[in-house]
Amino acid sequence: MTADASNTPVPRDQLRVSHEERDAVVERLRDAAGDGRLDIDELEERVGRALTAKTYGELAPLTADLPLSAALAPVPPLVIKSGMQGASRTGRWKVPAKITAHGGMAGVRLDFTRVACALPEVEIEAYGEMAGVTIVVPEGWWVDSDEVDPGVGGLRNKTLHPETRLPGTPLLRITGKGGMAGITIRYPNFLERRRLEKAKGQ
């Protein structure tokens, strides 16, 4: 039986980038030039490539050899609890270096598929509790979940191995406990990929 190509996740390096993401890279390149990390020829060449980049695969290498800009203020740690109606972070949100997620009675969902994250590593302390924690990541991100205690609900990490990590993408280091409902780490499903495709033109 031939697999339906529409069910194959699009690799992150082939996903389209937005104007906002291009502009963020240009600003980071200019900061690097101001610090003396790039000369004028390198700056002009990289800015030109950034402004014409269409995909993450074209954009990410332009800053892969640069440290984080001092102008990028750190985001405070995030503690997210489900309450009685659930809780989530989706769309374009600022990712801190440390996130603590409590699944509680209604569940927590962390969706990284539309974020622009310049951090080399993000720590997520997840507690599945009664309703679970779901973490959705783009193709090309590396997720290390070896330190998770699966508990009764278990750990389901459906992402690939570290050799698939793309340059310029963060490592998500997951710790915590699965509890009764468990922790799920996965790529976008069919409907989520459809929404991502529609969002490219926005």
Give the pLDDT score at 104: 96
Give the pLDDT score at 28: 87
pLDDT of 124 strictly over 80: yes
The pLDDT-based confidence of 17 (bands split at 50, 70, 90) is confident
* Separate counts of helices (H) and strands (E) for the chain: 4, 10
Q: Return the percent helix, strand and coil in the chain, to nearest 5.
A: 25, 25, 50
What does the DSSP 8-state code read for residue 126? Answer: E
**Which residues does 94 contact at the CB level (< 8 Å), separation at least 6?**
75, 115
- CB–CB of 165/171 below 8 Å? yes
Q: Measured between alpha carbons, how far is 156 from 186 in angstroms, rounded to an integer?
A: 8
The proportion of the chain whose per-residue pLDDT surpasses 90, expressed as a percent, equals 54
pLDDT of 72 strictly over 60: no
pLDDT of 2 strictly over 70: no
pLDDT of 10 strictly over 80: no
For residue 187, give the amino acid letter: Y
pLDDT of 133 strictly over 80: yes
What residues form DSSP beta bridges with 133? 108, 183
3-7, 13-17, 71-75: segment of lowest average pLDDT? 3-7
Give the pTM.
Answer: 0.68
Q: Give per-residue pLDDT as tens, 89-119.
A: 998 898 999 999 999 999 999 999 988 787 8
Give the pLDDT score at 132: 97
Place of tokens 């503690």: 79
Place of tokens 């994250």: 117
